Amino acid sequence: MQSLTDYSRLSLNQITTNRWSVPEAIEGCARAKVPAIAFWRHKIAEAGLEVTRRLARDAGLHVSSICRGGMFPAATREERAKRIADNLQAIDEAAQLEADTLVLVCGAAPDRDLRGARRMVEDGIAELVPYARERHVKLGIEPLHPMLAAERSCITSLEEANNLAAKFDPQTVGVVVDVYHVWWDAMLSREIARARGRIEGFHVSDWLTPPPDILLGRGMMGDGCIDIRYIRQLVEAAGFEGFIEVEIFNQAIWDRPGDEVLQLMKERYLDCV
C-alpha cells in the first residue's frame, strides 16, 4: 500500500483546531494550503452561515462535511420533533455550503431501551430523506465507538450503519467511516466492502494507549495503534475517492497553536494515512 504523495484529498475537520473560529480556520487552511475543511455547526452559527459560505468560497476551500445532524432519540414526541426541525436546518446549511455530506451522529437512548432508540433513529432519518434529496444533500450515518453508546450514538458498528443505510436510497443516505470508531472491528473489511457506493466520508485520527480520556482522548495519526493505511486501502478498494478528514478531539492538541497542528497533521498525513 502506497503512501499519499500530495495533499489534494486532505481536509481539516475544524474540531482538530477547536480554538479557531470559522474565519481563523479558513485562514489557517489557506496558509497551510489545505484544500478542504469540515465545519461544525456551532462554529458556523458564531460566524454566520453567509459569512462562512463567502469566506470559504473566496479562499477556494472545498467543504467536505458539516458536523453534525442526528441526535434523534428523545424521551418525548415534542423533543424528537424539535430535533427533526434542527436537522432540517442542518440540511439547509449543508446545501448552502455545498458540503459533500451532512454527518449524522445518531444519538443515544434516553433510557435503557436501545432497540427503541434505534427505531427512533430510523424514523428520524426517514423524515429527513425527502428534504435532503430535494437539496442534493447526502446524509452520512457515522457509527461511533461503542464506548459512546450511552452518550452519543446507539449506532455502534459499521454493520449496523450499513443495515440502516440500506433501508434508504443510496443517492441520499450513506455511511461515514472514522478509523477511531471502527478500528477494533473484526468485521471491518467485510463491512467496508459492503458499503461500496455508500461511503460518504472517511475520518482519520489515532487510538492512544491508554486513552487519556473517553471524549477527548483521540490522538494524532501515528501516535497510536490504528493501522490507518490498511483502513484507507479498504475504503479505496470499496470505491471511495473523497476527501480524508482529520478529526481529532484532544485537549492537548487543542492547546497548541493551530498553525503548528496543521503542519504536524500534514506530515503525519503523508507518513501514516
- Applying CB under 8 A, the residues found at the interface with a copy of itself are 109, 111-114, 118, 145-147, 149-151, 154-157, 159-160, 163, 183-187, 207, 209-211, 214, 224-227
Q: Closest distance between a copy of itself and the C-beta of residue 232, in Å? A: 13
Element (H, E) at 45: helix 41-47
Paired strand residues for 204: 246
* 20: nearest Cα among 263, 256, 225: 256
E strand residue ranges, the chain: 10-13, 36-40, 62-70, 101-105, 139-141, 173-178, 199-204, 206-207, 218-219, 244-246
Judged by beta carbon, residue 109 or residue 220, the one nearer a copy of itself is 109
Cα Rg of the chain (Å, integer): 17
Q: Closest distance between a copy of itself and the C-beta of residue 91, in Å? A: 26
For 16, what's the count of Cα atoms within 13 Å in the CB-facing half-sphere?
30
| Alpha helix positions (H), 138-203 | 158-165, 179-182, 188-194
Residue 12, phi then psi, degrees to nearest 5: -90, 115
Judged by beta carbon, residue 43 or residue 218, the one nearer a copy of itself is 218
Q: Identify whether the C-beta of residue 140 lies closer than 8 Å to the C-beta of residue 174.
A: yes
Judged by beta carbon, residue 47 or residue 238, the one nearer a copy of itself is 238
Neighbours of 273 (CB within 10 A): 21
Give the contacts of 86 (CB within 8 A, at least 6 positions apart).
69, 71
Judged by beta carbon, residue 217 or residue 258, the one nearer a copy of itself is 217
Q: Closest distance between a copy of itself and the C-beta of residue 194, in Å? A: 14
Q: Closest distance between a copy of itself and the C-beta of residue 125, in Å? A: 15
Judged by beta carbon, residue 191 or residue 247, the one nearer a copy of itself is 191
Local structure of residue 139 (DSSP, 8 states): E
Judged by beta carbon, residue 154 or residue 244, the one nearer a copy of itself is 154
Judged by beta carbon, residue 20 or residue 72, the one nearer a copy of itself is 72
Q: Closest distance between a copy of itself and the C-beta of residue 112, in Å? A: 4
Q: Closest distance between a copy of itself and the C-beta of residue 244, in Å? A: 18
Judged by beta carbon, residue 107 or residue 242, the one nearer a copy of itself is 107
Q: Closest distance between a copy of itself and the C-beta of residue 201, in Å? A: 20
* 38: nearest Cα among 13, 10, 3, 4: 13
Q: Closest distance between a copy of itself and the C-beta of residue 175, in Å? A: 14
Residue type, 168: F
